[in-house]
Structure 1
Amino acid sequence: MNKKRKKSLAGIAGIVAVATLISKIFGLVREQIVAAAFGIGPVVNAYAYAYVIPGFLLILLGGINGPFHSALVSVLAKKDQKSAAPLIETVTTLVSGILLLVTVILIIYADKFIDLLAPGLESNVREMAILQLQIMAPLAIFAGLIGIGFGSLNASDQYWLPSISPLFSSLTIVVGVGGLFWFLGEKINAPEYLQWGSIMLAGTTLAGGIWQWLAQQTAQIKSGISTLKLRFNFRQEGVNEVVKVMAPATLSSGMLHINVYTDLYFASYIENAAAAMRYANFIVLTPLGIISNMILVPFLPIFSRLASPENWDELKLRIRQGLILTALTMLPLTAIFVALSQPIVALIYERGVFKSSASAIVAPVLFAYGIGMFFYLARDVLVRVFYALGDGQTPFKISIINIFINVILDYFLVKSFATQGLVFATIGVNIFSMIIMLFILNKRLNGLPLKEWTVIFLGLIVATIISGFSCWGFYGLISSLWVKESLLLQGVNLLFSCLIALGIFLLFTIPLKLPELSILLSKINAKISKS
């Protein structure tokens, strides 16, 4: 809404970071419970496919920085408080009607969707996946409502509840699956109980989405920015503006997630690939989600306010700031995940039915995901610049091209690298997207200092490589001192090795004299001083 912002960029980032950290901690506990209960067995493999469409809709429509969130923030940031509620209610009515139809289709044709996604599934996994998809189908509606809630609350300068609300979804799964595992123990994977576990995992996922929406809706009603009132005046001012950004942005992000479908199609022919990708991806998404929200949530309205040509010089500085902050936060994590993938997976997941043999399957996939962290988030930063400029068409067109590139890369890389190849293909697609978007923005904004940026990023890559080898060597050295490692010792070894990686990265980054590094360090120091 068009009013003076009381919260600074740093203040918003701090709120988002703390709330997201809490949500991610609960998310990690959720994944540990699921891993301990089901390992990489049929229930989780079925869930990996059944959750593709509901999860895709939750990320696409209901996620922070998704197209619904981005479109509403872009439009509402330019409007006053008075016009917000009718606009939000109208958009909610329109979206709910469309997604109700999607829900019915998912329930009726669940078997067709599963067969299309994963033709290589064994029959028992296929049957569980179909049932789970039918249970979770209503998430289609709540995904749209959650996305609208994120955008509405952020536009009214509320960041805490939207960022922490995913906690509710994780908590329901922890209670449901954890309770069933406590009651049945490892018998939960016996043939006679697999169906119970499958239904519990899908049912608590749906319940969590409903709880998340209810929390957001309560906050919207209290703030006076939306009620449960249905409005069918789709011609009112602002609706067309929201749809103009939302529709191509949704299609663009949807095209991106078609790449996920492609990956899972190939993964269905590789034993335990889907479960391995799920577990490894979540480890990466935990810090990635926290940092992406810190960067993207505050920057989107800033990009939008600098969209006019007279503000382009400052916009370029903000783009640089977003990309370099992305590198400064993602690349040290890349060094850690690549160097220490096996001990990280073992520490997080090895309990219950998740044994060392499962870690050996998941760790190489984490290695691959670690390599792509920077490219994933940097691409998202550039996409938000296009959204702020009112251009959802360009990312959409790039996404269409990416589908074909991803299919080709999947086909060839899976032969050489198996499950890792599917991740490497995604990294290749993200790199291609970044190059094309930078080229277009360079022309549109009358030039970007690309040579200067390239030199900076090359320096940061060198720092990443050195820090990765350093923490790998240190971990090997310190681990050799113990005859037998306990869980506590594993954690201590990893902690000190990660600190070595961060310290080496910082040591080699300081000579670059980046103002973004000074900003980042000052904010970290301020947070430590307050705590």
Structure 2
Amino acid sequence: MSNIDRSSASMTSINVFIVLVSVNNKSSRSLANIAGIVAVATLVSKLFGLVREQIIAAAFGVGTVVNAYAYAYVIPGFLLILLGGINGPFHSALISVLAKRDKSEAAPIVETVTTLVTVILLVVTVVLVVFAGTFIDLLAPGLDTEVRQIAILQLQIMSPVAMLAGLIGIGFGTLNAADSYFLPSISPLFSSITIVVIMGCLLLQIGDKINTPQYLTTGAIALAGATLAGAILQWLAQLIVQWRTGMGKLRLRFDWRIPGVMDVLKVMAPATLSSGMLQINVYTDLFFASFIPGAAAAMRYGNFIALTPLGIISNTILVPFLPVFSRLAAPENWSELKVRIRQGLFLTALTMLPLTAIFISLALPIVKLVYERSQFDDNAARQVAPLLMAYGLGLLFYLARDVLVRVFYALGDGETPFRISIINIFLNAILDFLLVNAFAAPGLVMATIGVNIVSMVIFLWLLNKRLNGLPLGQWSKSLFGLLIATVLASGASYGVSYVWQQYLGNNGLLLLFQLVVASLVAVIVFFVAILPLRLPEVAMLLGKIKQKLGRS
């Protein structure tokens, strides 16, 4: 694949929202309305996702079943995110083609692409079933015999998710092209509900015995089966609406000569390869985690807590900036583009750093509140808490890197982020090897943070050269002030939490009140500490919050 292909592939998944908005100018829906729909649906899905994780934690803690599941789900989950996610290559390719064509042309294109994707991913599914043991050994050579056997069984059960991932991605793109946003965004909810219902019924029937050797296989099969059933339900929910909107039925069609089919495939194939490169770091982390008992399960729980607010906030920040960056890509607009880059970075800092302060100072009580029940005991909480602290440290760098990547795409340069992602694969492996020995599982998260920091520095250096200079010195001073405020906020929050626990305790509702009070202290101290910086982005952030509250 040529570098041009790589550039196009990378740009497609990011700029699809801009293409969609420009096409939908014909309709009454604005960017704000679409973003609002997606934000609400995302929030609902995240809340049910939280309940799902709590059920799993209560059933299995950080024990054998959930540790095996973390590895068994790697490939199906990777394909579900890569192929079946919003802004994934399937979603992006279909929108980029269908949005430019009459609705009457959509059904044959969708049905033909669906047929091809189903055939290819059916082969992938069979390969996963037959060679499940080989894949688990490649992903996690350090697993003990029991965990390995359960992981193999779970991977075989969940293998059809590979095929469903492609169908779900096609459904996302088709429905968005038909101006339907709520169902695609909320469809992951069906998967979470299925897991909650199945695992909840099993817990009611078996109770604490579910984590005993007698029922270990039963629990493992139930968890994997519920995941598969959830993916099936998610696909069927999309398929029904797809039929009703006239965007294709469940029909085999092999006519590759239909106009538009090759256009979809030309975007879909390289975009899939390009997006897949970004997931190699996940494999690398899990490879090293397999040598640490319970590490994969603990990382799963900590990662979910950290990414829940990040996912919601990132949509609010990134979506409005995508079209703005693109409109300012011409050289005569670079002075305003620099202002917008600063706004994106500092809005990211103003939202992520208070969360960092909270996660660092309150990691253990947060984990206890969210997960500690039944099989998830105090020892499990203390295993997950350091990982949540590590994830909290990386929030700013994770999201700020994404902001900078969007700037490159807006400038028509997808090649640079792609090349840096290749470098990051090797850098992540080196840092994993070095830091896992010193810090165990949290070292794997620190390695990712290091990769994101290096990426940020490179991106800023390149943008400084390309845009004829950025006020990096001024930005650095303000950022340093924000970091100092984060330290103060974290210390104040920890102090309040410690005093509360010493004098009032943290049993039952007291733990919830402790977290609420300590978190509010962190936010208040942070924003009071940054007042001398006189950042204009503070007023922007407050304006966005007032706007959201006013709409509510």
Task: Answer whether TM exceeds 0.5 for this pair.
Answer: yes
Taking a change above 3 Å as real, the CA distance of residues 513 and 196 of structure 1, as seen in their structure-2 partners, is same
Q: Which moved more, 1:50-59 or 1:250-259?
A: 250-259
State which of 343, 359, 369 in structure 2 corresponds to 1:347: 369
| Alignment correspondent of 2:519 | 498
Q: How far is the alpha carbon of 1:117 from its aligned partner?
A: 0.8
| Structure 2 letter corresponding to 1:368 | A
The structure-2 alpha-carbon separation of the partners of 1:461 and 1:85, relative to structure 1 and needing over 3 Å to count, comes to farther
Q: For 1:475, which of 455, 480, 497 is the aligned residue?
A: 497
Which stretch shows the higher mean deviation, 248-257 or 438-447?
Answer: 438-447
Corresponding position: 1:21 with 2:39: no
Distance 1:198 1:166 in 2: 21
Q: Structure 2: which 5+ residue stretches go unaligned?
A: 1-19
AA at the equivalent of 2:275: S
Conservation of the 8 A alpha-carbon contact between 1:48 and 1:274: yes
Instruction: Describe the shift of the 1:522–1:223 C-alpha distance in structure 2 as closer, same or farther (beyond 3 A).
Output: farther
Amino acid of the residue matched to residue 122 of structure 1? D
Give the secondary structure class of the aligned counterpart of 2:71: helix
Q: Is the 8 A contact 2:506 2:514 kept in 1?
A: no
- Tell whether the 8 Å contact from 1:32 to 1:348 is kept in structure 2 after alignment: yes
Equivalent position of 1:431 in the other structure: 453
Q: Using structure 1 for the length normalisation, give the TM-score.
A: 0.91
Contact 1:149-1:217 at 8 Å conserved across structures: yes
Q: Does 1:187 find its partner at 2:209?
A: yes
Structure 1: distance between partners of 2:469 and 2:178:
34
Which residue in 2 is equivalent to 1:486? Answer: 507
Identify which of 182, 187, 203 aligns with 1:165.
187
Offset from partner CA, 1:9-46 (integer Å, 9 cap, x none): 44333322222111111111111111111111100011
**Which residue pairs with 1:39 in the alignment?**
61
Which one of the candidate residues 291, 297, 314 is aligned to 1:269? 291
What is the CA–CA distance in structure 1 between the aligned matches of 2:480 and 2:310, rounded to whole Å?
A: 21
1:289 matched to 2:316? The reply is no
SS where residue 516 of structure 2 aligns?
helix
* Matched residues, number: 530
Question: CA 1:391/1:323 → structure 2, altered by over 3 Å: closer, same or farther?
Answer: same
- 1:340 aligned counterpart, secondary structure: helix
Q: How does 1:85-100 map to 2 (within 5 A)?
A: 87-100=109-122
Determine if the alignment matches structure 1 residue 377 to structure 2 residue 399.
yes
Aligned partner of residue 517 in structure 2, secondary structure: helix
Shift of 1:288: 1.6
Name whichever of 503-512 and 303-312 sits farther off: 303-312
Using the TM superposition, name which of 269-278 and 377-386 deviates more.
377-386
Partner in structure 1 of residue 124 of structure 2:
102
Residue in structure 1 matched with residue 389 of structure 2 by the alignment: 367
Give the Cα separation in 2 of the matches to 1:396 and 1:151: 24
Give the equivalent residue in structure 1 for 2:227: 205
**Does the 8 Å contact 1:30/1:171 carry over to 2?**
yes
Q: What is the rounded CA distance, in whole Å, between the counterparts of 1:8 and 1:222 in structure 2? A: 24
CA contact (8 A) 1:251 1:396 kept: no
Q: For 1:474 and 1:492, how far apart are their aligned partners in 2?
A: 12
The answer for the alignment partner of 2:272 in structure 1 is 250
CA contact (8 A) 2:45 2:186 kept: yes
| AA aligned opposite 2:509 | L
Write out aligned runs for 1:120-159 (5 A): 120-159=142-181
Distance apart, 1:508 and its partner CA? 3.2
Amino acid in the other structure paired with 1:279? Y
Question: Structure 2 CA distance, aligned partners of 1:228 and 1:390?
Answer: 37
Give the root-mean-square deviation of aligned CA atoms: 2.8
In 2: Cα distance, 1:466 partner to 1:287 partner: 22
TM-score of the superposition, structure 2-length normalised?
0.87
Residue in 1 that maps onto 2:84: 62
Contact 1:85 1:224 in 2 (8 A): yes
Structure 1 unaligned residues grouped into runs of 5+: none
Equivalents in 1 of 2:318, 2:263: separation in Å? 21
Structure 2 distance, partners of 1:262, 1:121, is: 15
Matched-pair contact (CA < 8 Å) for 1:64–1:297: no
Q: CA deviation at 1:402?
A: 1.3
Q: 1:293 to 1:510 in 2, by over 3 A?
A: same
Deviates more, 1:255-264 or 1:276-285: 255-264
